[in-house]
Amino acid sequence: RTVESDLRTALTTGDQIKLLYQPIYGADCETVLGAEALIRWDHPVHGALSPSHFVGIAEERGMIGLLGGWVLREACSFAAASDLPWLAVNVSPLQLRDENFASDLFAIMETAGVEPRRIQLEITEGVLLENTPATTAVLKELRGRGVRIALDDFGTGYSSVNYLRRYSIDKLKIDRSFVRQLGSSDESTAIVKALVDLAAALGIQVTAEGVETVQQRDALVAMGCQELQGFLLSPPLSRSQIGTGTAEPE
Ligand code: G
Ligand code: G
Ligand code: MN
Ligand code: NA
């Protein structure tokens, strides 16, 4: 047995994998604005496996369409049953290379009964770096129907301010590596402040990731950061913990 065949089994049966949902809060740190879906795989032999590991394997072995499709169906079915205003879903750059990605997603949303405006896709800077006509067309088609695009891990890759203008991004998510050093490093504090101001100047929303301490939270709120996500506010939660809007037996 290989990880690859195990992953295929897990995605087919669906009982070893699940999505968790991490709430994202407004600057009052009380209002839940939405949530991010995060995949988890409980392997029967190896236990909990890190998504960065098995998502990478899926990408290498041509299985990202299978994995990504499962994630989108599961996320949309949750969103349809939930009271959350919106749900953010991580997508791999490889998924966006598929020219059918947008129409497949629209079909999934329609089947689930979820409005495109309630789905945000988190993409990484690599997607924009590729700058292929196919990817650009897919992003345009998605936004045309109201799906919003967030740039994940912002600041860690080959960030270019130009991408933010060129590709009509709706939101940038400041990577937790910057948030972690807030308060302890003047440089990081200056970088985060500059990113928050940059987003405001471009009319883009901004989320701070990895908020773990009260000091970080207070600094971000003082800077005018609109959305906060991190263990201080809430860890990723199971479907029943976060609530689906429907009663679920314990
Ligand atoms: O949840 P955790 O912090 O362990 O996630 C690790 C990495 O895996 C993060 O970069 C996150 O974006 C990514 N990830 C989590 N869930 C998904 C998913 O459903 N699809 C993709 N492509 N990446 C995911
Ligand atoms: O790359 P991406 O931003 O999608 O990664 C999301 C990952 O960050 C998830 O795996 C989630 O478990 C993790 N995460 C969420 N909140 C925190 C936090 O406050 N601190 C740390 N270290 N990781 C977090
Ligand atoms: Mn993310
Ligand atoms: Na990130």
Here the ipTM equals 0.96
Longest CA span, the chain: 52
For the cut 80, the answer to whether the pLDDT of residue 222 exceeds it is yes
Q: What confidence score (pLDDT) does residue 17 get?
A: 97
Q: What is the DSSP letter of 230?
A: S
**Cβ–Cβ under 8 Å, residues 121 and 75:** no
Please tell me the distance from the alpha carbon of residue 155 to that of residue 158, in angstroms, as a whole number: 8
| Residue of higher predicted confidence among 179 and 188 | 179
Q: What average pLDDT does the segment 214-226 reach?
A: 96
Q: Is 21 exposed, middle or buried (0-12, 13-18, 19+ CB in 10 A)?
A: buried
Mean pLDDT value across the chain: 92
Please tell me the distance from the alpha carbon of residue 235 to that of residue 212, in angstroms, as a whole number: 10
Q: What average pLDDT does the segment 76-86 reach?
A: 97
Q: Is the CB of 34 under 6 A from ligand 2?
A: no
Please tell me the distance from the alpha carbon of residue 142 to that of residue 157, in angstroms, as a whole number: 23
Q: What SS3 class is residue 40?
A: strand
Please tell me the least confidently modeled range out of 2-6, 50-54, 105-109, 162-166. 162-166
* Residue 22 tokens, joined: 């991490």
Instruction: Determine the residue of 176, 215, 228 to mutate for testing ligand 2's pocket, defined as the one with the most ligand atoms within 8 A of the Cβ atom.
Output: 176
**Cβ–Cβ under 8 Å, residues 135 and 96:** yes
What global pTM score does this model have? 0.95
Cα 111 to ligand 3 centre (Å) = 25
Q: What average pLDDT does the segment 9-23 reach?
A: 95
Query: Per-residue pLDDT tens for 148-185?
Result: 999 999 888 776 777 777 777 899 999 999 999 997 88
- 158 Cβ neighbours under 8 A, 6+ residues apart: 125, 126, 129
Q: What confidence score (pLDDT) does residue 250 get?
A: 46
| Residue of higher predicted confidence among 113 and 99 | 113
- 94 Cβ neighbours under 8 A, 6+ residues apart: 59, 64
For the cut 70, the answer to whether the pLDDT of residue 246 exceeds it is no
Q: Among all ligands shown, which has an atom nearest to the Cα of 229?
A: 2
Please report the domains of the chain, with CATH numbers, ordered by start residue: 3-234 (3.20.20.450)
For the cut 80, the answer to whether the pLDDT of residue 142 exceeds it is yes
Q: What confidence score (pLDDT) does residue 164 get?
A: 79
Which atom, in ligand 1's list, is nearest to the CA of 38?
16
Q: What average pLDDT does the segment 227-248 reach?
A: 86
Q: What SS3 class is residue 222?
A: helix
Q: Is the CB of 207 under 6 A from ligand 2?
A: no
Q: Whose CA is nearest to atom 13 of ligand 2?
A: 210
Contact residues of ligand 1, CB 6 A cut-off: 38-39, 50-52, 55, 71, 90-92
